[in-house]
A and B are shown apart, each in its own frame.
Chain A
Amino acid sequence: MADSTADMAAGTAHAARDGRGFLARHGNYLLLVPGVIWMILFLVVPLGMMVYVSFWTQTTFSISSDLTLQSWITFFSSDTYFGALLRTLKIWLYVLVLTFVIGYPTALFIGQVVRNKTVQTVLLVTCVIPFWTSFLIRVLAWRPMLGVEGAINILLQKFGLIAEPIEVLLFTELSVVIGMVQIYVVFMVGPIAFMLARIDESLIEAARDLGASTWTIFRKIIFPLSLPGVVVGAIFVSVMVLGEFATASALSGRKVNLLGNIIVTQVGSLKWAFAAVIGVILTVIMAVVITGLLRIVNLRRAL
């Protein structure tokens, strides 16, 4: 360079990368090591083990590590098990759609109609409070609600809306769906309300000034902008519903068997390989569902 003066020391020696330099550059990784190791040992290894065991040979009383496809064949050739797969998917779809349909208006109210931050927080906390009761007890609380002598039937009869109690309410797929929707709908409301509350009000005002109707504004602005919230909510709900078994066993009187229930039963009777097959199938479904949902919106960019 032409403009070096006497003030500027010459020198081209590159400083050696000594040990301290290494630590200063890579010390960061040390912070991550405990968490990563924990997750690999107790998350990746168990899941890998599940895949591995699904190919083991299962006999009535024991299991051996000889690899076989037998458990897989049994699963897909059995009406009971394949039926459970279809039932799981069906209930998941019902719950997903219902949590969205039921939850969206509430989220719309919290995120768009109420523009006061304090009131928004109060409403959201109100929705979250039931979570302070044990999940299992909340599920059980549906029994006196839905039963033949349950609260709903009593109320409907009092108001003269029905003559005979509705029996289909409890110990059916319907009761399972009702229970799940109530338990998981908040996971849909939260993220959507969050995204709706972030929408810049001037955007909507501008659209209104341009003469857009309320419906057009909703369709063209509000809904697209809330979509990342819908996707996050849908992921939450899907993950929880697909792995569900407690609600089904509490509210269906063991008549509705989901994949989760089968896993529990199989583990109970020490049929590890078979439980593992179902576990792998659930994992695959889950992966497909989440990837599919993530295709709708680029979350990293949207959030």
Chain B
Amino acid sequence: MKQKIINPSTSVNTATHPGSTGYDYTMGPQQTLPDLPVSSGTIAASGTNGGSSTAASAHTSLPSVYNGSLHPHAHNQHVSLAAFAFLFQELISQARNASKSVSEIEMRLHRNGYHIGIRLLELLNFRSSVSPGFGSTSSSRAFFSKTSINSSSNTLALNNALTTTQDEPSLAQGISHMKRRDLKPVEILQFIHSTVWTYLFGRVSDDLVKSSERDNEYMLVDSAPMLSQFISSTNVQCDFFVCGIIEGILDSASFPCNVTIHSVPEPNFQQRAVFVVRFEQQVLEREALRA
């Protein structure tokens, strides 16, 4: 993106680029809608931009992220904790080998989590918009299995991309109204406290408190952090990974903040961790404007 020069959209004639597929930001928007099905025999439509649309239909038969479903039942909902623990271990070792200091390891873990966070925000909110019953019947669940989608698109790929899109039940069809966007810090923290925590760790987090000393500070308490439960380490806080997830969620929801972790052992919960969320000043200012 940084190297390419963006040309004005209309100065390039799309017909001179017949091989182009998808959106090209150096060319601007393309004009036509996908061609009508080949079987119905519209010859005129293949004139202007035929290259683009046939390429698109050929691509639908390939496995792609767009063929999968976002429905929670479309995939196995659980991951083996042991398998994840080993993966997480490798992640930490990698960060450790590449870093020179403890804070650098933590920063790397934080960055890894951040990219999960920005995705979780969209995914979980979108999922919770879908009405509960949608897609839970056995007939429609059959649609969600990847094989049936792939086989149907393979047979139809010669016809056109449009037919397959209509066959597939998209999750958006099951939405009567979208879940509200979270506009207040408390709302989005509640979302993390309940929805995100349940998705990640199978339970809600143990507490969500507002700091009494500072206005912009909130604390999420987890008495037994799941990811670091096997790790006995005093100097590196492996839960910075989770900090990264939280910060990714808040950042992409436009609540710029800084998340740190402090371990606060209690007699019953040796590994009790407190995630401290410090919002930046602009969040408070925005809140003050609306009030």
Do these two chains interact? no
Question: Residues on B close to A: CB < 8 A?
Answer: none
